[in-house]
A = this chain, B = another copy of it.
């Protein structure tokens, strides 16, 4: 804190320039300022007047107010992406980045907006205040039919939900995390494993993914003589070492470790405890990260084919133009096993 210095100059606070100030300086009406700065071609304004208005705006440092403009237009180009507080992995980050980039190229303004701690309907109300033309809900806040209705009444043309369930009134794009658990555990069953651990991360926020993955694992063993055992694990070496210490008492012959990062953590702890992989226990991750290929044995994983962000952006754009053109979709996520050495 010793290296703190006051800023050399701090301008006295001046009022924010308005279009009225520009009009006064240019000697024209406010309407003329608006026509010139919004490039309206419907009204004839002489070039010298246009130049005068632009120079006055420049001199005063005036920029139009997006809020005012959206009020006049009645509808924004805002696509609201409720912003996450989930510690998402690299796969999901890349998807979000790609989605945002693609929406921007389609000339939408992507706004991420937090609704931490709000219930579903309060969140929908907060989002509606921004008058988005579309809302993409990624499942952190479960939208209700009422929330969707409210958003639509406030001008949203497309309310798109990605998640395991349909939401009435929304464009439901069904992405079912259960498929990942089913795929991993299905593979372990084929390889004759019968007592299968399923890692459930203890980090808050991940239930959104871990609960359906566990449910998918349970579904895979239903009707067989195999069992699934949930295993809580924090993303810390101590937690993994503790689980490894009591491992042999659990009598498990395989584990689906939630994702590749947890799998790498657990695999190392098991190896350090002298448990042989895959001889004594088979390990499967998910996400198909490059890093899983760097460990020895190489990590078997579930590859998740997520809809491309670009493709989802196009779906949103179609829905905004014609809300009836996009229906329920189930083809946006796939899971396939990548067999390597750890299983």
Residues on A lying within 8 angstroms of B by beta carbon are: 1-7, 9-11, 13-14, 16-17, 60-71, 74, 76, 83-85, 87-88, 93-94, 97, 100-101, 104-105, 109-114, 116, 125, 128-131, 149-150, 152-155, 157, 169, 171, 235-237, 261, 264-265, 268, 290-291, 293-295, 323-324, 326-331
Query: 5 tightest CB-CB pairs across the interface, nearest first?
Result: A67-B67, A61-B153, A66-B129, A268-B294, A112-B112
Are B290 and A237 closer than 8 Å at their CB atoms? yes
Q: Which residues of B contact A2 (CB under 8 A)?
A: 331
Q: A100-B114, A114-B104, A114-B110 are in contact. Are A71 and B61 (CB under 8 A)?
A: no
Q: Which of B83, B85, B105, B328 has a CB less than 8 Å from the CB of A7?
A: B328
Are A87 and B97 closer than 8 Å at their CB atoms? yes
Are B61 and A131 closer than 8 Å at their CB atoms? no
Are A291 and B291 closer than 8 Å at their CB atoms? yes
For the complex, give the distance between the alpha carbons of A265 and B10 in Å.
48
For the complex, give the distance between the alpha carbons of A171 and B4 in Å.
11
Closest-CB distance, A160 to chain B (whole angstroms):
12
Q: Which residues of B contact A154 (CB under 8 A)?
A: 16, 61, 63
Q: List 21 A-B contacts (CB under 8 A).
A: A7-B326, A16-B74, A60-B153, A61-B149, A61-B153, A63-B125, A65-B71, A66-B67, A66-B130, A67-B70, A68-B71, A71-B71, A84-B97, A85-B101, A87-B93, A87-B97, A100-B114, A104-B114, A105-B116, A111-B112, A235-B290
Closest-CB distance, A213 to chain B (whole angstroms):
21
Closest-CB distance, A140 to chain B (whole angstroms):
13
Most buried by B among A76, A83, A235: A83
Q: A10-B323, A324-B10 are in contact. Are A1 and B63 (CB under 8 A)?
A: no
Closest-CB distance, A54 to chain B (whole angstroms):
13
Q: A66-B130, A324-B6 are in contact. Are A94 and B87 (CB under 8 A)?
A: yes
For the complex, give the distance between the alpha carbons of A290 and B152 in Å.
45
Residue of B nearest to A124 (CB): B63
Q: Which residues of B contact A327 (CB under 8 A)?
A: 4-7
Closest-CB distance, A266 to chain B (whole angstroms):
10
Q: A5-B327, A101-B85 are in contact. Are A265 and B290 (CB under 8 A)?
A: yes
Residue of B nearest to A74 (CB): B16
Closest-CB distance, A167 to chain B (whole angstroms):
11
Contacts A87-B94, A237-B293 known; 16 new A-B pairs at CB < 8 A: A4-B327, A5-B327, A6-B327, A7-B326, A16-B131, A62-B153, A63-B125, A63-B129, A66-B130, A67-B76, A85-B100, A87-B93, A261-B291, A265-B294, A294-B295, A295-B295
